[in-house]
Chain A
Amino acid sequence: MQLHHFHGGLKLAEHKAESTARPLLTLGVPKYLYVPLSQHIGAQTECVVQSGDRVAKGQRIGRAKDYICANVHAPTSGWIRGIVEHPVPHPSGLSAPCIKLETDGRDQWGDDRMEPWRDWRERDTRSLRERVRDAGIVGMGGAAFPTAVKLNPRPGKRIHTLVVNGAECEPYISCDDILMRSHPEAILEGARIVAQMVGAERVLFAVEDNKPEALRALTDAVASGEQDFIRIVSIPSIYPTGGERQLIKVLTGREVPSAGLPADLGMVCHNAGTLKAIREAVVAGQPLISRIVTVTGPGIREPRNVEALIGTPFADLVAAAGGYRPDVDRLVMGGPMMGFAVVDDAVPIIKGTNCLLATRPQDAPQPGPVMPCIRCGECTRVCPANLLPQQMYWFAKSKDFDTIQDYGLFDCIECGCCAQVCPSNIPLVQYYRYAKQEIWGREKERQKADLARERFEFRQQRQEREEREKAERLARKKAALAKKDSAPTEKKAAIEDAIERARAKKTAQSSGEKPSQDRERADG
């Protein structure tokens, strides 16, 4: 298959072998789980259980109340011990509402478990999509966007290709690799389900060429006779080739329009882990309650992949991987390029947690002092969106938010390549995040202000109208009153009129004689 290039990118040391050397470990059920109500992009879910409730495994405990939202389920059976503020994996390090679940160790499904649909080929798209939505599935590559939304193509967009993202381009992370090695059939079944749902005629399954075992496992799992339908594609390992837009460019040579979606090119892209979750939801009736997490880094004794329940504290996963090495000083959720450091390892894993990376000072040293930008252009060379990061840095710094948008701020995918190569140690991505936040904030402010102005203007109009109506009413009343007052005068006038007429008549009579007299006189 003819592959293509995207601009820039980085060849990074992979560090994947550390965690793939050990087999996948399924972690036991911890005493307490803290399941955050918001684990995805979109609105927070609404808690539908109360403290003291007994819940079964897979029972829905958080309800999606918005379109862009995802249900949350009890990862195991037990008792709800409250909705508590608990540290969550978020760059801010702040706490957020979590459902505290005391587990009972029995791991029992309830009676309301979703019915397994082995006959999913007979099911219609809508019910399959509802199933995905019910199962609370989100993108498992890290972004955690509700999958059901992505499976609902906009009207008029025909999807012909399902792109499966098994690139896993960021160093250290190997959870998809392990998944593809161990469950290729399940992933492919998920791909078939999604292909049926969106009506795709072909599936392009992209895996970076640094994962030969996964490539082999997948190739073997493709049923004979469907090689034309599902193509396993080995792509060059260049960070960030796993970015949706970059991946589509590599596979097809086409660029997703800046403001558009892959659907504009007739494509939809899903992560391999997401497809496995879809398969489990449809075929096994199991909502998204656990995932594989790579626990790795030079600060971990025995790096490996661990399958754990959502809500399990980071610390438990680290313990399963042999614990920390001495002098570990940073714990990152996600990979080294886009992940964020967490303050505390008590935070629970969520649906989007693909990797825990622990580093020591020598592995990710404190960068030197931030120097002035010397415009060396390295960032331009590596930018996969073909931006000019050095120029955008100036505009972000000078708060020139119009110009920075003109330079493509919102085309930045925050991959971190520019910051990695910057000789001046400038945290470039931070500047762009800041600029984006400011622009969104201002947009929100502007909308608020617009709304306020609209309301104010409406109120003013209303008041003016009321004034006017009042005035009119008054005027009418006055007029009516005036009429009432004028009524007797009319009568008088009529009388006077009559008198006048009578008098006129009289005068006319007397004067009528006069002319005759005159005539007589004239005659006479």
Chain B
Amino acid sequence: MRFRTRTSPHMVPGHSVGSLMRQVLYALIPGTLAMAWFFGWGVLVNVVLSVLFAVMFEALMVTLRRRPVGVTLGDSSAVLAGWLFALAIPPLAPVWVLLVGTGFAIVVAKHLYGGLGYNPFNPAMVGYVVVLVSFPRELSLWPSPEGLAEASFTLWQTLQTTLTGRLPDGLDWDAVTRASPLDMMREALVSGQTVHEVTRSPVFGSFSQTEWEWAGNLFLLGGIWLLYRRVITWHIPVSMLLSLATIAGVFWVLDPDQFASPAFHVFSGAAIIGAFFIATDPVSAATTPLGRVLFGIGIGILTYIIRTWGGYPDGVAFAVLLMNMVAPTLDHYTRPRIFGHSGDGRG
């Protein structure tokens, strides 16, 4: 009897790239729903449109590059990039912001560098940073839950706002938006208020604005599930959050009036989603265990520096992109000791 031959291993394979990416998507659901609960339909509209655009751009690029479209779309990486991008964008941002951002993410940051596996920078963050520096006004308008509730903002109105870039008649931006906690803290400190005065504001929960705390908690839950499923390793999220908390803690202890608490930093803005979902993008992160720890520490520290002394309220996206640049160097210098070798394994 004759048989077909194939190379080992002769077993049922474990994960596939697609299944890994989809598990990350599942883990994003609770946090995304929490954001939608607080910030309205806009969050979901953004996610749906961005995913749609991202997949569209991916299909376009793959076709242009003459690769099998089905296989590439099946890996779900474009869906994930679109989704992560959408979560960084204010829920009432106009549609062209989404189009420009996802276009840049998929076309430039991903496919012009060679597609999945070859992009040195995190595509979602490249897309976000491009629109952030290009359209600062649109990117700063975070709705306030109370404002949305008062205006009884419906899905239809949200769609209208997104597609036209204008609020429905009778509403103005000031009524429905509010500074995000990091913005609030930043402006207050610049105008001479103390941290204590800011956090006494009624919109604040235990550590940060209530809605950000809740989104953070649920993204944390998703992240822990990813750790449990071994889709990601602990190195990057733990080292990033620990280093962010540590450096924030040092300054906070030195001067609690001028520097926000570690908990505020961890539960505001993109720290948690960044730690578990963005910095852990394996393609653009360091790949050795020690390299990943250093990568996470770098992001934590850079995030704090940019938030505290930089020109932007949040720094996770910039920190991730900056650390993306040094990932290959980290990998080079952090090779593990090989079995049976002494010293640093480079012998």
Q: How far is the CB of A11 from chain B (nearest CB, A)?
A: 12
Among A12, A365, A430, the residue within 8 A (CB) of B13 is A365
Cα separation A344 to B11 with both chains bound (whole Å): 20
Q: Known contacts being A341-B5, A344-B1, A365-B13, is A390 close to B287, with CB within 8 Å?
A: yes
- Give CA–CA (A377, B289) in the complex, Å: 8
Query: Is A386 touching B5 in the complex (CB atoms < 8 A)?
Result: no
Asked if residues B10 and A336 are in contact (CB atoms below 8 Å), the reply is yes
Q: Is the CB of B115 within 8 A of A372?
A: yes
Is A387 touching B338 in the complex (CB atoms < 8 A)? yes
**CB nearest to B71 among chain A residues:** A369
User: How close is B241's CB to chain A, nearest CB, in angstroms?
Assistant: 19
Is the pair A408, B341 in contact by a Cβ cutoff of 8 Å? yes
A357 at the binding interface (Cβ < 8 Å): yes
Q: Which of A174-182, A255-263, A283-291, A443-451 contacts B (4 or more CB under 8 A)?
A: A255-263
Please determine whether B116 and A257 come into contact, CB atoms closer than 8 angstroms: no
Asked whether B2 lies within 8 Å of A343 as measured between CB atoms, the reply is: yes
B8–A338 CB distance below 8 A: yes
Interface positions, chain A 427-477, Cβ under 8 Å from B, are: 427, 429-430
The interface stretch among A39-47, A119-127, A414-422, A494-502 is: A414-422
Q: B346–A391 contact, CB under 8 A?
A: no
CB distance from B229 to the nearest CB of A (A): 12
Q: Which residues of A contact B8 (CB under 8 A)?
A: 332, 336-340, 416, 419, 429
CB contact under 8 A between A369 and B68, given known A375-B283, A375-B287, A419-B8: yes
Which of the segments B130-138, B169-177, B255-263, B329-337 contacts the partner chain?
Answer: B329-337
Q: Which residues of B contact A429 (CB under 8 A)?
A: 7-8
Shortest B106–chain A CB gap in Å is 15
Nearest-CB distance from A157 to chain B (Å)? Answer: 17
CB-defined contacts of A171 to chain B, threshold 8 Å = 11
**Interface membership of A330, Cβ < 8 A:** yes
- Collect the chain A residues with CB atoms within 8 Å of residue B289's CB: 377, 380
A332 contacts across to B, CB distance below 8 A:
8, 10
Task: Give B54-92 interface residues, CB cut-off 8 Å to A.
Answer: 68, 71, 75
Q: Quick check: is B12 within 8 A (CB to CB) of the other chain?
A: yes
Smallest distance from the beta carbon of B343 to chain A beta carbons, Å? 11
Could you say which interface size class chain A belongs to? Answer: 35 or more
With a 10 A CB-CB cut-off, give which of B9, B118, B285, B337 has the most chain A CB atoms: B9
Count of chain B residues near A, Cβ 8 A? 47
- Cβ-defined contact, A329 with B340, below 8 A: no
Closest to B342 in A: A257
Interface membership of chain B positions 7-38, coded 1 if the CB is closer than 8 angstroms to chain A and 0 otherwise? 11111111111011000000000000000000
Proximity bits, B88-116, A CB within 8 Å = 1, else 0: 00000000000000000000000000011
Residue of A6, A12, A374, A381 contacting most chain B CB atoms (<10 Å): A374
| A384 interfacial contact with B, CB 8 Å | yes
Contacting residues, chain B, for A366 (C-beta < 8 A)? 6
Answer yes or no: B180 CB below 8 A from chain A CBs. no
Interface centre among B2, B19, B68, B292 (most CB of A within 10 A): B2
B233 close to A (CB within 8 Å): yes
**CB distance B340 to A257 under 8 Å?**
yes
Whether A342 and B3, one on each chain, are in contact in the complex, defined by CB atoms closer than 8 angstroms, is: yes
- Do A420 and B339 touch across chains, with their CB atoms under 8 A apart? no
Within 8 Å by CB of B9, from A93, A337, A342, A375, lies: A337
> Across the interface, do B1 and A345 meet the contact criterion of CB distance under 8 Å?
yes
| Residues on the A chain within 8 Å of B243, using CB | none
Cα distance, A416 to B13, chains bound together (Å): 12
Report the minimum CB–CB distance from A367 to chain B (whole Å).
6
B310 within 8 Å of A (CB atoms): no
Tell me which of A357, A386, A424, A427 contacts B7 (CB under 8 A): A427
Min CB distance A397 to B, Å, is 12
In the bound complex, CA of A386 to CA of B16 (Å): 23
User: A256, A339, A371 — which one has the most chain B CB atoms within 10 A of its CB?
Assistant: A371
* Chain A residues, CB < 8 A from B6: 330, 341, 364, 366
B168 within 8 A of A: no
Contact with B along A353-395 (1 / 0, CB 8 A): 0000101000111111101111111101100111110110000
Which residues of B lie under 8 Å from residue A256 when comparing CB positions? 340
Output the nearest chain B residue to A323 by Cβ-Cβ distance.
Answer: B1
B200 in contact (CB, < 8 A): no
User: B118 contacts which chain A residues (CB < 8 A)?
Assistant: 372
Selected from A12, A91, A245, A337, the residue in CB contact (under 8 A) with B339 is: A245
- Per the 8 Å Cβ criterion, residues 134-152 of B in contact with A are none
Does chain A have a CB within 8 A of B288? yes
A368 to B15, CA, bound (A): 11
Q: A337-B11, A421-B14, A423-B15 are in contact. Are A93 and B5 (CB under 8 A)?
A: yes
Enumerate chain B residues within 8 angstroms of A226, measured Cβ to Cβ.
Answer: none
Please measure, in the bound complex, the distance between the C-alpha atom of A499 and the C-alpha atom of B331, giving whole angstroms.
Answer: 100
Closest to A92 in B: B5
Q: Which residues from A are CB-within-8-Å of B5? A: 91, 93, 330, 340-343
Q: Is A503 an interface residue (CB 8 A)?
A: no
Q: Does chain B have a CB within 8 A of A324?
A: yes
| Closest partner residue, chain B, to A334 (CB atom) | B8
| CB pairs A–B below 8 angstroms (13 shown) | A255-B339, A256-B340, A339-B8, A341-B5, A342-B5, A343-B3, A369-B71, A371-B75, A372-B118, A375-B287, A380-B287, A385-B339, A427-B7
Beyond known contacts A368-B13, A375-B287: 13 more, CB 8 A cutoff: A7-B339, A331-B1, A344-B3, A345-B2, A367-B13, A374-B20, A377-B289, A380-B288, A388-B336, A411-B338, A419-B8, A423-B20, A424-B117
Instruction: List the 5 closest A-B pairs by CB distance, nearest first.
Output: A372-B117, A258-B340, A341-B5, A423-B15, A408-B338
Residue ranges of B at the interface with A (Cβ–Cβ < 8 Å): 1-17, 19-20, 68, 71, 75, 115-118, 230, 233, 282-283, 285, 287-289, 292, 331, 335-342, 345-347
Task: List residues of chain A with CB under 8 Å of any chain B CB.
Answer: 6-7, 12, 91, 93, 171, 245, 249, 255-258, 260, 315, 324, 328-332, 336-345, 357, 359, 363-369, 371-378, 380-381, 384-388, 390-391, 406-408, 411, 416, 419-425, 427, 429-430
